[in-house]
């Protein structure tokens, strides 16, 4: 029986989540249809661009992603404290980058509330409270992301109906070891599927984007981080229709490893009139790595250690997957007391081993108590993975 979303995503339990969305029509929605020769690789760029633009509007940071031909993964951190710290005006400005809002909100943003009576101002503050909750809500982030991609793909295909399989699936990541496991699982997706042989060649993944930008920074002595969404301009429109994302298409060619197409234009059969506004929004950078603990909103590892982990894990043959690269196990697993052999197995079968949460046995037990459930699939896998036996 499906769990209610409120039981699966609880920021009181953890701000970290692995999420996955699958296409309802499955094959060739984001890849190449060998039967017809049509190529939809550019849609993978749509998804990357859209998630990074939304990360600059919502209180959501993207730590890892992988966009495959019929599904995509993300590891995200929802920052509720950041959303609470925004002023009401900031909340209204952010929300109206996605939806135009009611007339009262538009009037308030245009005139700063001048000439509005107390009841109108109270109504605006009520909308701000509603929008604040949504901007710190993982379900709303995924809703805006998936709905906009669905409309673009359906417009390009000249069809209507559902594009995604249903609501997104999620895993609560209860501790650092779980975050590490999920990120590696996500970044290794193309290697497991034999679409790439090394991380830097894995197009439309966070690890390839990081390596691509790191290489560009070394070549050009430029900072790695992109600008986040900003600016105070509201969108003066009259309905609550979401804006669409459009990115520069790759045509029928194959993307270069590490490519993440910049915002640009596409030509689906119908275009939202406000699409150009969203196209101009900068994309938020990926969440940074920080092993020192000085940054609150950061991945709690060193990037070099993580890269070593992803590279060496990809080198180990997976009996139930097609892609591999031979190699050794990295040192970061020792710090987190993770069993190397079990980590390799989990990197190939995480979705099969865990149900709705990932973490050490201690954290999974506490999670069961908090949710008032007697059993949670994954306890055996957690014991094997996170309780490394002394040599």
Query: Region 21-47: what's the mean pLDDT?
Result: 77
pLDDT of residue 282: 81
Q: In what order do the strands lie in the sheet with 16-22?
A: 60-67, 71-78, 16-22, 169-173, 357-358
Q: Tokens 């984001």 label which residue?
A: 30
DSSP string, 187-198: HTHHHHTTS-SS
pLDDT of residue 230: 36
Number of neighbouring beta carbons within 10 Å of residue 229: 18
What is the reported pTM?
Answer: 0.84
Give the tens place of pLDDT for each residue, 202-258: 999 999 999 999 887 666 654 444 433 333 333 333 344 444 443 433 333 444 444
Contact 47, 123 (CB under 8 A): no
pLDDT of residue 375: 79
Give the tens place of pLDDT for each residue, 51-88: 999 999 999 999 999 999 889 999 999 999 999 999 99
Give the tens place of pLDDT for each residue, 147-165: 888 888 888 888 888 889 8
Q: How many residues does the chain have?
A: 391
Phi, psi of 369 (to 5 degrees): -60, -45
Radius of gyration of the chain (CA): 21
Give the tens place of pLDDT for each residue, 355-365: 899 999 999 99
Give the tens place of pLDDT for each residue, 365-391: 999 998 888 878 899 999 999 986 544
Pairing of strands 16-22, 169-173: antiparallel
- Best CA proximity match to 78, nearest among 94, 95, 59: 59
pLDDT of residue 66: 97
Contact 187, 310 (CB under 8 A): yes
Query: Region 96-120: what's the mean pLDDT?
Result: 93
Task: State how far the Cα of 119 lies from the Cα of 257, in Å rounded to an integer.
Answer: 55
pLDDT of residue 249: 36
Domain boundaries, the chain: 9-79+138-380, 82-135
Identify the architecture of domain 9-79+138-380 in CATH. Answer: 2-Layer Sandwich (3.30)
pLDDT of residue 75: 99
- Asked whether residue 182 carries a pLDDT value surpassing 70, the answer given is yes
């Amino acid at each position: 029986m499906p769990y209610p979303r409120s039981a699966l995503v609880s920021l009181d339990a953890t701000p970290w989540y692995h999420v996955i969305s699958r296409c309802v029509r499955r094959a060739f929605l984001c890849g190449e249809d060998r039967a017809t020769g049509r190529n939809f690789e550019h849609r993978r760029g749509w998804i990357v661009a859209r998630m990074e633009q939304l990360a600059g509007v919502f209180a959501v940071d993207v730590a890892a992603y992988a966009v495959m031909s019929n599904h995509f993964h993300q590891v995200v951190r929802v920052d509720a404290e950041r959303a609470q710290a925004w002023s009401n005006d900031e909340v209204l400005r952010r929300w109206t980058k996605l939806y135009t809002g009611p007339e009262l909100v538009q009037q308030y943003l245009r005139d700063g509330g001048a000439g509005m009576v107390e009841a109108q101002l109270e109504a605006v503050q009520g909308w701000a409270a509603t929008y604040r909750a949504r901007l710190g809500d993982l379900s709303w982030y995924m809703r805006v992301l998936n709905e906009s991609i669905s409309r673009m793909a359906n417009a390009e295909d000249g069809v209507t109906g559902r594009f995604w399989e249903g609501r997104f699936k999620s895993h609560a990541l209860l501790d650092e070891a779980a975050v590490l496991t999920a990120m590696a699982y996500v970044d290794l997706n193309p290697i497991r599927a034999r679409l790439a042989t090394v991380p830097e060649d894995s197009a439309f993944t966070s690890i390839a984007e990081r390596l691509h930008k790191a290489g560009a920074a070394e070549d050009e002595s430029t900072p790695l981080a992109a600008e986040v969404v900003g600016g105070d301009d509201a969108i003066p429109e009259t309905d609550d229709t979401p804006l669409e994302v459009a990115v520069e298409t790759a045509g029928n060619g194959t993307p270069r490893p590490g490519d993440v197409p910049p915002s640009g234009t596409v030509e689906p059969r119908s275009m939202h009139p406000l699409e150009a506004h969203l196209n101009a929004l900068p994309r938020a950078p990926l969440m940074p790595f920080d092993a020192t603990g000085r940054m609150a909103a950061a991945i709690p590892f060193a990037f070099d250690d993580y890269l070593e982990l992803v590279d060496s894990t990809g080198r180990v043959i997976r009996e139930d997957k097609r892609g591999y690269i031979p190699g050794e196990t990295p040192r970061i697993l020792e710090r987190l007391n993770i069993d190397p052999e079990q980590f390799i197995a989990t990197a190939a079968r995480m979705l099969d081993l865990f149900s709705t949460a990932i973490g050490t046995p201690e954290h999974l037990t506490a999670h069961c108590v908090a949710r008032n459930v007697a059993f949670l699939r994954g306890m055996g896998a957690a014991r094997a993975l996170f309780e490394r036996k002394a040599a």
